[in-house]
Structure 1
């Protein structure tokens, strides 16, 4: 209550922007409970919910095991889409059901390889994996985690990779052996669920800008193939992400490359950082739609985005010694000429400097009369 005439200041703090979750996959596959409609995404926050909703794992499905692997590796939220079959039509319908779901940023489909292993057709797998990549690319807000073929040798996984191209996906090799499967000695399953859990764990601990690699795979007993450095020398340049067993260090994700042919989208974390920025823009900039397209709107947009990117810079998601080296935002008369404004467009120019993973650490050892010097 004001008692005397005058001008009084009142500070109103703006509401915080919506927090954008990352590391949230959608798993598409076969499950038992006919009471759950097909192509209806079901959120899960704990492995026990899968058992309650869908019952025991089907003998011709990997879905339960990859979902369990997701939670074992640090995942906290996923969506499950029950498919009516394991063919392309069913997969396409399941992917269509995900199009309006804005809370996911990963897509996994382990059951596209549920046929008896000796009957799996690599060409058919390629068609379905390409459909997943196309889905992610077309929507631009999600990333595909793809599995290698079961029992694949180096030549077979290289042939599989050569038929797959996309900026929004990555391929992981080989399959993993888990406990508590239908076989007492262990059960080999596609790695996508465990990898998705690693993505979620890495995002939560550090951020989406960190490459989801050099991370231990929990709940994994062994690998279908034990790769050597020489073998990975063949696979890594082809952007095949290897899973490796290291004595005394566990089984780890030992690669972070996408399937893209473009150098700027080589690394998973770089692609996912820009993907996340795009999701944030779509979620938080909707309130400027229909505002007068003038200098005040441009200034508001610049201010809003500068604050967001500065926060990313503070979190270490962008590289540079200062914000000006890490990003810039431009929204003015130059980016919005009259002919553009007349048709209702607002153009914003954004540049970001993403953090690239140190994939190759090179140490020089120089021996001289004064001793040995190590430089990096």
Structure 2
């Protein structure tokens, strides 16, 4: 290679390769399920075939479990990356401990626990699913994909739906028939793949619905439009139905959360705000412990505005002008003396998602423990 000498004495050429910025990933689930492993640490999978390298079936378990099929369904439907945490048993305490330990995982924003459905009765299933929702609400940066009961009774499904009230999860029915397995399996793994596929092709603000499911040959029940309306009442938690359409295959035909609040009833809207909070923690962490002064407020307002504008340009926010799509406020009004004495910096952000017709407001509060979204 030719050595280029500088023409100006005392001046040298240094070729600096910029360090690429870390990417904020979305559509990355953590799967919890019955399996045995060499250690209890989460395993990172980028191929479905890696599951057998790390895990094996627990000897003497009541069933082979659903974990392996759920992960296969994830990758078959567009998933690219997931983490797997092996559970020694299917108890509530074991699940809670594993959820807490998984908080150290970065770049994960979804939770799937298909083997919850192996619990002995519906009440136990509800308790464990509630624990998953509570975990997602506590960490604030994950969304739960839950499985409906494997029943033919729509009234029983409606009962399960009414047991939940959370902005941080969605419920899916019915169960799926896949090849090389005699029974039906919970849909969460396949749906997680749909989420990942939708994030890749359209962005986290796109609705993960009306996408044909792969690796599915039948449904446990066929829900009618009338039954779907019963399971998706207005301003109440809903169940997203998977339905079969002639000539179009089997598709996720719903995008509702388990929230009773109208502004949080859509999965893509809730996940957009979760991603906003993850972005803030990912990109503004270096502002923690800085002096709570005008210069910090200006910086936060500028960086948040740039990110909000990028969301608007992607089509995540409505409005023909930026001020119709978002606003950012970080000044003396949002940071009165009492807040500064508490060591907090507060930025007020309003976003107008493409589905609801009004601003949804959130507060970013910076403290020594990080940035939280309220």
TM-score (norm. length: structure 2) = 0.86
CA distance in 2, matches of 1:68, 1:284: 33
Instruction: Tell me the SS of whatever aligns to 2:260.
Output: coil
Instruction: Please state how far the C-alpha of 1:342 moved relative to its aligned partner.
Output: 3.3
Query: Gapped runs of 5+ residues in structure 2?
Result: 1-5, 10-15, 358-374
- Of residues 12-21 and 69-78 in structure 1, the stretch that sits farther from structure 2 once superposed is 12-21
User: Which residue matches 1:26?
Assistant: 30
Contact 1:60 1:114 survives alignment (8 Å): no
CA distance in 1, matches of 2:20, 2:299: 16
User: Which residue matches 2:109?
Assistant: 105
Contact 1:17 1:284 survives alignment (8 Å): no
Once the two structures are superposed, residues 85-140 of structure 1 have per-residue CA deviations (whole angstroms, 9 ceiling, x without a partner) of: 0111111111111112222100011111225xxxx411111100000000001111
User: Which residue matches 1:77?
Assistant: 81
User: Which residue matches 1:42?
Assistant: 43
CA distance in 1, matches of 2:98, 2:291: 40
Query: Gapped runs of 5+ residues in structure 1?
Result: 5-11, 359-376
- Structure 2 counterparts to residues 304-343 of structure 1, below 5 A: 304-343=303-342
- Of residues 87-96 and 243-252 in structure 1, the stretch that sits farther from structure 2 once superposed is 87-96
Instruction: Please state how far the C-alpha of 1:14 moved relative to its aligned partner.
Output: 9.3
- Structure 2 counterparts to residues 1-376 of structure 1, below 5 A: 18-31=22-35, 33-35=36-38, 37-38=39-40, 40-55=41-56, 59-114=63-118, 120-181=120-181, 183=182, 187-237=183-233, 238-356=237-355
CA distance in 2, matches of 1:322, 1:343: 36
CA distance in 1, matches of 2:301, 2:8: 39
Once the two structures are superposed, residues 326-365 of structure 1 have per-residue CA deviations (whole angstroms, 9 ceiling, x without a partner) of: 111111122122332233221111100111189xxxxxxx
User: Which residue matches 1:364?
Assistant: none
CA distance in 2, matches of 1:336, 1:231: 50
The total of aligned residue pairs comes to: 340
Shift of the 180–357 alpha-carbon distance from structure 1 to 2, 3 Å rule, reads: farther
CA distance in 1, matches of 2:121, 2:297: 54
Contact 1:41 1:97 survives alignment (8 Å): no
Shift of the 329–221 alpha-carbon distance from structure 1 to 2, 3 Å rule, reads: same
Compute the RMSD of aligned alpha carbons.
2.2
User: Which residue matches 2:365?
Assistant: none
User: Which residue matches 1:370?
Assistant: none
Instruction: Please state how far the C-alpha of 1:34 moved relative to its aligned partner.
Output: 3.9
Contact 1:126 1:160 survives alignment (8 Å): yes
Instruction: Tell me the SS of whatever aligns to 1:208.
Output: coil
Instruction: Please state how far the C-alpha of 1:286 moved relative to its aligned partner.
Output: 0.9
CA distance in 2, matches of 1:179, 1:234: 31
CA distance in 2, matches of 1:127, 1:248: 39
TM-score (norm. length: structure 1) = 0.86
Contact 2:92 2:128 survives alignment (8 Å): yes
Contact 1:210 1:357 survives alignment (8 Å): no
- Of residues 198-207 and 228-237 in structure 1, the stretch that sits farther from structure 2 once superposed is 228-237
Instruction: Please state how far the C-alpha of 1:292 moved relative to its aligned partner.
Output: 2.2
Shift of the 307–16 alpha-carbon distance from structure 1 to 2, 3 Å rule, reads: farther
Contact 1:236 1:242 survives alignment (8 Å): no
